[in-house]
């Protein structure tokens, strides 16, 4: 995402720095991001509701209940695997 930055004309050791309006990449705050409702294909507000004894995400307008996604697999960071990787590198 591009943000507009107004830059003053300045003076550096090598000469003058030109000023003007520059386009810079900038992060988007999480409050400016919305989930897309699968039914309406439009940005939607989301709430939670208890369905069949489980807490689930519900889109406000369409009342669509989203199926919970599978959690990401955890990566193991054991010392044994790190030591084995280092030993393999040293052998080569």
DSSP three-state, residue 49: strand
At residue 25, does pLDDT exceed 90? yes
At residue 86, does pLDDT exceed 70? no
DSSP three-state, residue 57: strand
Residue 74 CB partners (closer than 8 Å, separation 6+) = none
pTM of the complete model = 0.45
- Measured CA to CA, the distance from residue 41 to residue 23 in angstroms comes to 30
The predicted-structure confidence for 29-79, as pLDDT tens digits, reads as follows 988 888 888 888 899 898 888 888 888 888 888 887 777 666 666 766 655
């Amino acid at each position: 995402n591009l943000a507009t930055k107004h830059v003053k004309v300045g003076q550096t050791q090598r000469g003058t720095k030109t000023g003007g309006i520059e386009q810079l990449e900038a992060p988007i705050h999480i409050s400016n991001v919305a989930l897309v409702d699968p039914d309406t294909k439009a940005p939607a507000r989301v709430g939670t509701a208890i369905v069949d004894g489980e807490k689930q995400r519900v889109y406000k307008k369409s009342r669509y209940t989203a199926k919970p996604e599978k959690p990401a697999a955890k990566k193991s960071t054991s010392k044994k695997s790190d030591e084995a990787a280092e030993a393999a590198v040293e052998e080569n």
